[in-house]
Amino acid sequence: MVAEYIPDLAEVKSVSDATATGACIALGQAAGAVVTNMDQAELYPLVETQSGTLISQDLYRAGAILVNNAGERFVDETQVGNKIAKTMLEQPEGYAYLIYDGVVKERESLTDDYESAGLAKQGATAEELAEAIGVPADALAATLGGVMGEGPYYAIQCEPAILTTLGGLQITNCAEVMNEEEIIPGLFAAGDVAGGIHGSSILDGDYVTAMLVFGRTAGTEAAGVVD
């Protein structure tokens, strides 16, 4: 479905559950339902390239930065993850390095886990780190010198991945599924099966909220039909 509706992301990895195949969306379409927002997906920016480990975004909130393979910072890390991920995809090779120093290590204990798992490369200086990750030393030294203290420095190579798609069956505010002109009697949808709830990006904390709100609504409305 990603290849069909969002061809630009066809080669992007997914960290969704393996059961998220879109089968229920297809069932709704078979019943005449229309779909909406199928060209939108939520991306997670910090997926370690080799292991697929999701790296906490708290690291750049604690002071870590992202640099491309030219050793240059290219994005405002205070933006929402979806925007950061899309900017990462525009970089050469479509990946970036999350770089942090001792200050971030003190603030975020998760860095110890990443290092013990072998996910982070280290350099006592910017030049040593540049050699370890294969980026221009002068550029990286200039980048880090403007925003970080003295080394050692650490880098985790990350790429964006699809966290979830945002499209699905068109529903009313009562979770009723729509065809081209009207409600399909007795058919309800919620969660990832429903489209158009989040727009082009999900607000932090809204994953579960939307599922619970429309899940409860769908159940309540379906029970009324049965009665």
Domain ranges of the chain: 2-40+166-226, 44-161
CA distance 53 to 20: 19
- Torsion 209-197-4-178 (CA) sign: positive
Window from 79-88, 92-101, 115-124, 200-209 with minimum mean pLDDT: 200-209
- Mean pLDDT for 143-148 is 94
Is residue 166 a contact partner of residue 195, using CB atoms and an 8 Å limit?
Answer: yes
Please, which residues have CB within 8 angstroms of residue 203's CB and are 6 or more apart in sequence? none
Please work out, in degrees rounded to the nearest 5, the angle formed at the alpha carbon of residue 43 by the alpha carbons of 54 and 68.
Answer: 75
The 10s digit of each residue's pLDDT in 193-222 is 999 999 888 887 787 888 899 999 999 999
Number of H helices, E strands in the chain: 9, 9
Give me the percent of the chain exceeding a pLDDT of 90: 86
The 10s digit of each residue's pLDDT in 152-181 is 999 999 999 999 999 999 999 999 999 999
Is the pLDDT at 227 greater than 70? The verdict is no
Domain 44-161 bears CATH identifier 3.90.700.10: yes
Query: What pLDDT was estimated at residue 56?
Result: 97
- Mean pLDDT for 171-192 is 96
